[in-house]
Copies of this chain bind each other. A is one copy, B any other.
Amino acid sequence: MTHSADTQVKADLARLLPLVEPRLGARLPQNETVAKAMAYSLEAGGKRVRPVLCMLTAEALGQHPERALSCALALEYIHTYSLIHDDLPAMDNDDLRRGKPTCHVVFGEGQAILAGDGLLTEAFQLLAEDASLSPQTRVEAIAALAEAAGWRGMVGGQSLDLEGEILTQSGQSYDLPHLQRIHRLKTGALLRASLELGGIACEADATQREALRRGGAALGMAFQIQDDILDATSTTEAMGKRVGKDQDHGKITYPRLMGLDGARRALAEVTQQAIEALSPLPHPGSLIAWAHYLAERTA
């Protein structure tokens, strides 16, 4: 990563994380099991990529990052719920996440399912109740977040991914367009929504929203290709979650379909697409630095 991009990412985190972290669990009482389970997973750390991208989008449009704060929190709630459900024994069956025992390991499977449901629901409540945004802006944000998170987006991608595992375990395979569709839905949709919701919160114009949609889609694809690469090359210690599990599960990934070098070329290409789409925004510097960071991150 270039030195200047690295410096920018560190400065962004130092500025934005203090806005996000104290508010994540602020609405959750510590004397109710399900609320405790929700807070446990919210506060287990993580890179906070989605809320940071959402608030950086507000800055790229010349607005204060707090303008997009409820959108940022809602995105992290949705992301965290998806991790809790994805880690369940019936799904990916993971016992380690963000370097800590997963929610169902600590609270039991039933409470973990409910904690995920609670976070998903709370994301929409939080947006609906944000009196600093107009009702019109709130319904637009809710509709866009639901579109990205539901069966047309993330949930649909996880369903395809689950089917793909069964397919490959039975000795069958699938091709690049199908893999791209899974990536676009499973990880891409919510990352694209991170920029989209920033634009909605700031009441961006149609041209800016289109730039954010295209840039966000490319960033999302870059993120997932790098995830595939890291799963094949990194260590459990560095990632805070089990690696090599794609291969264990017989999953189709970018490195498996086109080799590590091919995957790295594809990553460079979509990163360039993201940068080109986002460059016309009023203050694109940080988003572009993050495009470099997401492509070159090591965890």
Partner of A128 from the list B91, B114, B134, B139 (CB cut-off 8 Å) is B139
Min Cβ gap A24→B in Å is 14
Q: Which residues of B contact A160 (CB under 8 A)?
A: 33
Q: Tell me if A159 is interfacial: C-beta within 8 Å of chain B.
A: yes
Q: Tell me if A210 is interfacial: C-beta within 8 Å of chain B.
A: no
Given contacts A109-B90, A113-B90, A151-B118, contact A143 B156 (CB under 8 A): no
Q: How many copies of the polypeptide does the oligomer hold?
A: 2
Q: Tell me if A194 is interfacial: C-beta within 8 Å of chain B.
A: no
> Within the assembled complex, what's the spacing in Å between the Cα atoms of A177 and B110?
24
The answer on a CB contact under 8 Å between A32 and B151 is yes
> Within the assembled complex, what's the spacing in Å between the Cα atoms of A102 and B121?
23
The answer on a CB contact under 8 Å between A146 and B121 is yes
The answer on a CB contact under 8 Å between A117 and B116 is yes
Instruction: Please name 6 further chain A to chain B contacts, defined as beta carbons within 8 Å, in addition to the given A121-B146, A127-B142, sorted by A numbering.
Output: A81-B117, A85-B117, A111-B162, A118-B151, A121-B150, A124-B146
Residues in chain A within 8 A of chain B (CB atoms): 28, 32-35, 38, 81, 85, 88, 90-91, 108-111, 113-114, 116-118, 120-122, 124-125, 127-129, 134-136, 138-140, 142-143, 146-147, 149-151, 155-156, 158-160, 162-163
